[in-house]
């Protein structure tokens, strides 16, 4: 609970059998999380057994893909505030309070993993990923004249219930680039947001995407193509979604 608001965490899982139980315990230990929804997205056998008895609620999403899993999890979440994160050991439950503190000021908070002092030894944030995410962030910042953006690929983020419900009807990506679509829709709807540094640790196991430079490059290219498409269509006068109805959030 945060200032009278219920807090939900959504964990999509595919290859996190070895870390999911510890991740659930870590986020509950923050003292602010009321609910954790684990979305089994055709996950490794035994994942449900790891979640059982942890206090988290598990749901199944058969449509394969990060976007499909998150959309299902957010639709299932019952909190007034929804936090998205990975249950692979990379993110810390202690950072929940960071996101919540800024949720008093803005309805959307994005994490960034580019603060060197918060990136632990062994974390998958080498030169290629760090500066690739930074470059794409700067492209978005320039094209849309946004506030500071340094890491479009960070998957730890917070949405108020109002912001989520405003964006949800316009989600259309089921794959790994769903995260950037959420960012772009937030920008196009003029929803206030901020980016804050979060802790980034070594992953338990191997990522199915960023573990391969080739796959990461392909994902980055898809992100850039989507960013340019949204910008060009916006310049052409297309309205993707209604503007945010709460210009003075507080």
Q: Is residue 244 part of a domain?
A: no
Closest CA to 210 of 111, 121, 130: 130
Q: Is residue 24 part of a domain?
A: yes
pLDDT digits (tens, 9 = 90+) for 34-75: 999 999 999 999 999 999 999 999 999 999 999 999 999 999
Residue 207's pLDDT band (cuts 50, 70, 90): low
Q: Is residue 45 part of a domain?
A: yes
HEC letters along 104-166: CCCCEEEEECCCHHHECCCCCCCHHHHHHHHHHHHHHHHHHCCCCCCCCCCCCEEEEHHHHHH
Residue 235's pLDDT band (cuts 50, 70, 90): confident
Q: What is the pTM of this model?
A: 0.93
Q: Is residue 217 part of a domain?
A: yes
Instruction: Please count the structural domains in the chain.
Output: 1
Residue 249's pLDDT band (cuts 50, 70, 90): low
Q: At what angle do helices 127-144 and 178-188 cross, to 10 degrees?
A: 20
The span from the CA of 26 to the CA of 55, in Å, is: 12
The span from the CA of 104 to the CA of 102, in Å, is: 5
pLDDT digits (tens, 9 = 90+) for 64-119: 999 999 999 999 999 999 999 999 999 999 999 999 999 999 999 999 998 999 99
CATH number, domain at 180? 3.90.550.10
Report whether pLDDT(173) > 90: yes
Residue 127's pLDDT band (cuts 50, 70, 90): confident
Six token digits for residue 154: 């960070």
* pLDDT for the residue numbered 169: 96
Q: Is residue 246 part of a domain?
A: no
User: What is the domain range of residue 30?
Assistant: 7-235
Diameter of the chain by CA atoms? 52
Can you tell me the mean pLDDT for 227-236? 89
Q: Is residue 250 part of a domain?
A: no
Q: Is residue 243 part of a domain?
A: no
Residue with tokens 């632990």: 120
Q: Is residue 152 part of a domain?
A: yes
Task: Compute the chain's Rg from CA coordinates.
Answer: 17
């Amino acid at each position: 609970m945060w200032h009278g608001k219920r807090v939900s965490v959504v964990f999509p899982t595919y290859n996190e059998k070895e870390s999911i139980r510890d991740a659930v315990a870590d986020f509950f230990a923050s003292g602010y999380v009321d609910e954790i929804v684990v979305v089994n997205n055709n996950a490794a056998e035994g994942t449900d057994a790891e979640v059982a008895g942890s206090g988290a609620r598990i749901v199944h999403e058969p449509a394969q893909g990060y976007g499909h899993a998150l959309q299902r999890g957010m639709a299932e979440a019952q909190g007034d505030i929804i936090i998205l994160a990975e249950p692979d050991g990379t993110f810390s439950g202690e950072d929940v309070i960071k996101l919540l503190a800024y949720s008093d000021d803005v309805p959307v908070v994005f994490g960034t993993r580019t603060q060197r002092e918060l990136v632990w030894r062994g974390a998958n944030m080498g030169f290629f990923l760090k500066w690739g995410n930074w470059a794409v962030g700067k492209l978005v910042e320039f094209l849309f004249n946004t506030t500071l953006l340094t890491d479009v690929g960070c998957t730890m983020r917070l949405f108020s219930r109002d912001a989520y419900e405003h964006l949800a009807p316009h989600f259309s990506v089921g794959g790994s680039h769903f995260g950037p679509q959420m960012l772009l829709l937030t920008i196009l709807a003029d929803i206030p947001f901020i980016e804050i540094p979060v802790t980034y640790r070594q992953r338990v196991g191997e990522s199915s995407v960023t573990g391969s430079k080739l796959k990461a490059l392909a994902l980055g290219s898809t992100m850039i193509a989507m960013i340019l498409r949204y910008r060009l269509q916006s310049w052409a006068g297309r309205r993707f979604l209604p503007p945010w109805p709460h210009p003075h959030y507080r």
